[in-house]
Amino acid sequence: MATSADVRTAKVEGTRFFIIMAFVMGLVIVAGFSVQLAMGRSSFAVPWQYHLHGAIFMGWIALYLAQHVTIAGGNRSLHITLGKLAYIYIPVMVAAGCAIMITVAQRTGGPFFFPVNEFLISNMALLLCFGGLGLWALRQRRYTGWHRRLMLVAMTVLTGPGLGRLLPLPLMIPYSWTITVATTCIFPLIGMIADYRANGRVHPAYWWGLGIYLGVFVASMLLAYSPVGYALTEWVIAGTAGAERPMDAFLPPDF
């Protein structure tokens, strides 16, 4: 009985770091949107696509937190069931995310502190990166070390919009997008430090996950600033309100 209790306790304690990180990342995302809403910089008076996107992505945060809570509480059967739901939810998120990026690019050209090509192409590429890492993490669910860490890196990608709303990005032009992505890397870096302190080494899942994330970011920026990237961006926003703003980031006259 004592041995069984010790094993169960060790498993629960092993989830402590990951459940804390999950709630911190979720809080950052929610805080970013809430702060902007409280300051009057965002509004619910937007087309229905925005609301659908928000509901889907907030639903993912709830699912992500629920997964950590269920495994920490020892409810493995519910954890597995929710994991199966994630196989469907992740592709839906990617589709909804790409759709809203196109909608925003056509409606406003994206936030003024991001170049339109960066916002559209790099943003979309990183969302696809999230989807790939998330599905890979699900495929590795039998290997807890890989599963947890790959999912943490996947979730890291989604913290960008939240962090971006907490950073003074207009003051960081023309590097606002790069700084936002770089800032998100703090989460896997914290994980790597925790690994090293606990085990004397960093789990390879972090190296692979973070390496893929940064690799996709670099490749997406190269594509965004290539002739193909500019042409694709101009094609998407042609004839819309988004085409009326400059392609590069800028400060509005009344800022």
Tell me what pLDDT residue 43 has: 65
Rounded CA separation 162/167 (Å): 9
| pLDDT tens for the chain, residues 1 to 255 | 333 333 333 343 368 899 999 999 999 999 988 887 777 666 667 788 888 988 999 999 999 999 999 988 889 899 889 989 999 999 999 999 999 999 999 999 999 999 999 999 999 999 999 999 999 999 998 899 999 999 999 999 999 999 999 999 999 999 999 999 999 999 999 999 999 999 999 999 999 999 999 999 999 999 999 999 999 999 999 999 999 999 999 999 877
Residue 30 lies in a domain: yes
In the numeric block, which tokens belong to residue 4?
Answer: 């069984």
| Helix ranges (DSSP H) in the chain | 2-14, 16-38, 48-72, 76-107, 116-117, 123-139, 144-164, 176-184, 186-199, 204-224, 227-237
Tell me what pLDDT residue 9 has: 35
CA 109 to chain centre: 21
String of DSSP letters for 154-187:
HHHHHHHHHHHTTS-GGGGTTSHHHHHHHHHTHH
Residue with tokens 């629920």: 66
Tell me what pLDDT residue 143 has: 92
Residue with tokens 């925003």: 104
Tell me what pLDDT residue 166 has: 94
Residue 78 lies in a domain: yes
Residue 250 lies in a domain: no
Residue 18 lies in a domain: yes
pTM for the whole structure: 0.90
Rounded CA separation 49/72 (Å): 35
In the numeric block, which tokens belong to residue 67?
Answer: 């997964």
Rounded CA separation 53/58 (Å): 9
What is the number of structural domains in the chain?
1
Residue 252 lies in a domain: no
Tell me what pLDDT residue 160 has: 95
Residue with tokens 């619910």: 44
Q: Is 134 buried (19+), middle (13-18) or exposed (0-12) by CB count in 10 A?
A: buried
Rounded CA separation 2/85 (Å): 35
Rounded CA separation 78/229 (Å): 43
Tell me what pLDDT residue 42 has: 67
Tell me what pLDDT residue 254 has: 79
C-alpha atoms less than 13 angstroms from C-alpha of 12 in its C-beta half-sphere: 12
Q: Could you tell me if residue 110 is left (phi over 0), alpha (psi between -120 and 50 degrees) or otherwise beta?
A: left
CB 213 within 8 A of CB 153: yes
Q: Report angle CA 160, 215, 156 to the nearest 5 degrees.
A: 25
Full residue range of the structural domain in which residue 19 is found? 2-244
Indicate the residue type of 154: A
Residue 254 lies in a domain: no
